[in-house]
């Protein structure tokens, strides 16, 4: 037996490889004698875990003895097994200290194996600081770029997530020093060669209130295997990211963080083998809404070239809030502030409060009217400049993100019209409603007794609210009451209200006003990789909000050993290919590629016919182009907005 050297904190490379060689030898023997083999995904996981251990190992005397002695086990292994051992060992040591020079200084990343069981791996740079900690006077303001540094910074671990409460555990997590991003790529520049791969920048969801861009949920394995550079990032959340209180706290800090990260990408991604002139932004839920907000923001011009919004739109009712100093004042009062109703004093107080207390007190700022309007998110994006009085010179302490409503900006052509756009939704987005029911079993009874709360805020029905309430109720529920027996109907209603109608309005806006194609999808595959249903323990059929993410990202906590011939793997491969095709070519199914995986051409929405004929790709066990998703429900809401607002948009 080989002993651990004195003073060592872990097993030697000899011990790890000795054990690994034994596993491979057994695998090879079984394959030759009885056709029994370790599942590729299981084997890949084992290698990845061994790789993690190997990062701290050094080549010991024992290892040299093991590999050089003519009668050693390694020398006696079958040549095929030995080749695998050598490949694995080389991968443990290959480019483990990859140094890249950014505009601010040098960082050190590492090479790691794919966790998905495929051969090969990718270069990983985690926890790269793109902005200075927004603390002190910078709290509630736009962050500043990171300062230059000397020496080499380690980029092997992810940085802090921004302060938030975990969606599942409802526990606090994060640090205010959180402006970090991660970069993953399969190819790095060498000498005069730069692969100049397309870049995809991911904006995570979480209702602008929780989450991060880290690999626990957003592993890069699937996407980078298609030869793109993936960037994931953190941005400020909740009150720290979206509190509004005049020009000294204008709002949209989290969105400005995204801008700062995109500027970092523009200035530095070439050093990682990426093309700064070939950047696609994509995101889900609040991240999908953020993508659309960036399409509207003047300060984002030139920072990206394609865009994908999944299950989120700036036109969804939860995506934009009303600018209000009153909410900041309520937050301060609930945290113990006693004083004059002076905005400057309130902000001085809130800048001294620990971030954990700010996050935990956020829900207390919600009013009864907020709950009646289905607004459970107290701090979200806003239209800036709300403090400016008509006729007076506008006052801004920093460049505003947006100063007009999204719909108004579309109608005035004030958006980035030369960006190809892809967007869509899952069939049962509002299955998240089940989580609210678990927290508040009386919620169905509350809605039954106050169904008017489901009338959209932007529907102009002040004088006919009761009539509109009856029409909505009759259309979705018929003669049913709001209760356990009508949960499916309520999921359909809330799916339309919270997601689908706003997404369809977005598609029409882009088809009508944009110079580039817009592609729409409907994700209807209910498979084992559905993320949120697994996280929430939901057993109902249907595709929940967030379920498509499992077909784009490798989750750190999912150890599913799927049959390579399973439908889940096929759908995953198709999704990844279409998303990365869009990033590469601006078209998810380019006809010139002759790709057997994608036998159906994804047609863009026709601009002239968008009002009455929305073409979309239905993504399920197969791919099929269809027209007008959820047609009757779509027609109902088109009628309501045309009748009461004067337009169907």
The answer to whether the CB of 462 falls within 8 A of the CB of 484 is no
Strands (E) across 538-588 are located at none
Q: Hey, which residues are catalytic here?
A: 285, 429, 545
Decide if 621 contacts 567 (C-beta within 8 A).
Answer: yes
Instruction: Supply the DSSP string of 283-332, one letter for each residue.
Output: EETHHHHHHHHHHH-GGGTTS-SEEEEES--TTSTTT-----HHHHHHHH
The string over 78-110, giving b where at least 16 C-beta atoms fall within 10 Å of a residue's C-beta and e elsewhere, is: eeebbebbeebbebbeeebebebebebbebebb
Alpha-carbon distance 28 to 293, whole Å? Answer: 54
Identify the three-state secondary structure at position 447.
Answer: helix
Longest C-alpha distance within the chain, in Å?
A: 93
Number of H helices, E strands in the chain: 22, 15
Which residue intervals of 39-142 are DSSP H helices?
A: 40-54, 61-68, 73-76, 79-93
Counting Cβ atoms within 10 Å, is residue 530 exposed (0-12), middle (13-18) or buried (19+)?
Answer: buried
Phi, psi of 207 (to 5 degrees): 60, 25
Helix, coil or strand: residue 187: coil
d(CA 475, CA 430): 17
Angle between helices 13-34 and 40-54 (to 10 degrees): 170
């Amino acid at each position: 037996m080989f002993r651990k050297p004195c003073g060592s904190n872990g097993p030697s490379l000899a011990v790890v490889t000795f054990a690994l060689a034994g596993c491979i030898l057994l695998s090879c023997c079984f394959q030759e004698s009885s056709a029994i083999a370790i599942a590729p995904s299981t084997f890949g996981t084992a290698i990845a875990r061994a790789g993690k251990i190997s990062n701290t190992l050094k080549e010991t005397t024992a290892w040299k003895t093991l590999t050089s002695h003519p009668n050693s086990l390694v020398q006696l292994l079958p040549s095929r097994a030995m080749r695998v051992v050598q490949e694995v060992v080389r991968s443990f040591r290959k480019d483990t200290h990859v140094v890249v020079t950014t505009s601010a200084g040098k960082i050190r990343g590492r090479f790691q194996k794919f966790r998905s069981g495929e051969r090969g791996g990718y270069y990983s740079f985690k926890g790269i600081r793109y902005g200075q900690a927004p603390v002190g006077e910078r709290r509630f303001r736009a962050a500043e770029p990171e300062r230059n540094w000397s020496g080499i910074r380690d980029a092997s671990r992810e940085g802090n997530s921004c302060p938030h409460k975990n969606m599942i555990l409802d526990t606090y997590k994060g640090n205010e020093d959180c402006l970090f991003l991660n970069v993953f790529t399969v190819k790095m520049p060498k000498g005069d060669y730069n692969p100049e791969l397309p870049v995809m920048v991911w904006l995570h969801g979480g209702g602008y209130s929780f989450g991060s861009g880290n690999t626990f949920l957003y592993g890069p394995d699937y996407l980078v295997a298609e030869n793109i550079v993936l960037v994931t990032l953190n941005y400020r959340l909740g009150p720290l990211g979206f509190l509004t209180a005049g020009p000294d706290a204008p709002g949209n800090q989290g969105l400005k963080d995204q801008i700062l990260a995109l500027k970092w990408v523009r200035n530095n991604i070439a050093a990682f083998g990426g093309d700064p002139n070939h950047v696609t932004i994509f995101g889900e839920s609040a991240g999908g809404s953020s993508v659309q907000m960036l399409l509207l923001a003047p300060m984002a011009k030139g920072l990206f070239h394609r865009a994908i919004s999944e299950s989120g739109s700036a036109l969804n009712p939860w995506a934009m809030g009303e600018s209000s100093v009153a909410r900041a004042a309520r937050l301060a009062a609930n945290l113990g502030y006693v004083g004059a109703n002076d905005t400057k004093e309130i902000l001085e107080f809130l800048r001294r409060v620990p971030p954990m207390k700010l996050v935990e007190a956020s829900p207390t700022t919600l009013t009864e009217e907020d709950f009646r309007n289905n607004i459970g998110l107290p701090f979200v994006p806003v239209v800036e400049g709300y403090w400016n009085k008509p006729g007076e010179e506008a006052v801004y302490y920093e460049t505003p993100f947006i100063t007009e409503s999204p719909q108004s900006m579309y109608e005035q052509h004030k958006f980035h019209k030369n960006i190809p756009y892809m967007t869509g939704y899952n069939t049962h987005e509002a299955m998240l409603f089940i989580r609210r029911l678990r927290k508040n079993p009386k919620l169905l009874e509350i809605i039954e007794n106050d169904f008017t709360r489901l009338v959209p805020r932007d529907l102009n029905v002040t004088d006919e609210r009761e009539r509109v309430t009856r029409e909505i109720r009759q259309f979705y529920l018929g003669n049913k009451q709001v209760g356990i027996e009508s949960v499916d109907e309520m999921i359909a209603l809330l799916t339309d209200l919270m997601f689908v109608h706003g997404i369809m309005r977005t598609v029409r806006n882009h088809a009508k006003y944009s110079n580039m194609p817009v592609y729409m999808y409907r994700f209807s595959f209910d498979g084992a990789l559905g993320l949120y249903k697994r996280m929430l323990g939901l057993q109902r059929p249907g595709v929940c909000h967030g379920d498509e993410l499992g077909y784009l990202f490798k989750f750190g906590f999912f150890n599913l050993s799927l049959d390579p011939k399973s439908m889940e793997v096929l759908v995953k491969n198709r999704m990844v290919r279409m998303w990365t095709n869009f990033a590469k070519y601006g078209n998810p199914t380019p006809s010139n590629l002759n790709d057997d995986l994608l036998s159906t051409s994804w047609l863009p929405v026709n601009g002239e016919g968008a009002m009455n004929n929305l073409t979309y790709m239905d993504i399920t066990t197969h791919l099929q182009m269809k027209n007008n998703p959820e047609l009757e429900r779509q027609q109902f809401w088109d009628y309501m907005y045309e009748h009461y607002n004067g337009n169907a948009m």
